[in-house]
Chains A and B, each alone.
Chain A
Amino acid sequence: GAVVSQHPSRVICKSGTSVKIECRSLDFQATTMFWYRQFPKQSLMLMATSNEGSKATYEQGVEKDKFLINHASLTLSTLTVTSAHPEDSSFYICSAFLPGNTIYFGEGSWLTVV
């Protein structure tokens, strides 16, 4: 079964609104989670590293005020896309390390901004 769960799997929002995507670690604590974005037929691009209890670390070119990351507990990280635009439409995937350093990915969340 899944060890990292994302919700929602698909979401459609209107341009200018905000949408939140959740990433949960199931049955284990994840002090660090990673958020990736993937456009159709392209690879995964690391957006940011989410750290429990502290600020996220963003990759170069990723707007931290637009992609808000909150890692308030050891099992939950959230990514909020603020003032979404059609160009933000993408597949967003989170990942987390299990004890023993194995990395697992969530199922992904399709965001469509109309």
Chain B
Amino acid sequence: KNEVEQSPQNLTAQEGEFITINCSYSVGISALHWLQQHPGGGIVSLFMLSSGKKKHGRLIATINIQEKHSSLHITASHPRDSAVYICAVRSYSNYQLIWGAGTKLIIKP
């Protein structure tokens, strides 16, 4: 079993829909990251969380440390949100990231 599991693997939705991507992990962490990989390949860091909730524009990330679970939400989704969203966690002991496999999101106009 992978230490970081994302669901769903693929998600197709219509423009305007509320999107939720989930990330569950099985190790003790010091932080959880959400990243976005554009179709061209570039990776952008969206959020770093160690507790609670963060919001940036239409993106909201939450984490429940006790349940070892995080969600990334996109409100009023737009075709430009189409990308792969990756969850990664950092263990207590070092800077190393454990990566999820990513969720490929397609938003249709």
- The reply to whether chain A is a binding partner of chain B is no
Chain A: residues with CB nearer than 8 A to chain B?
A: none
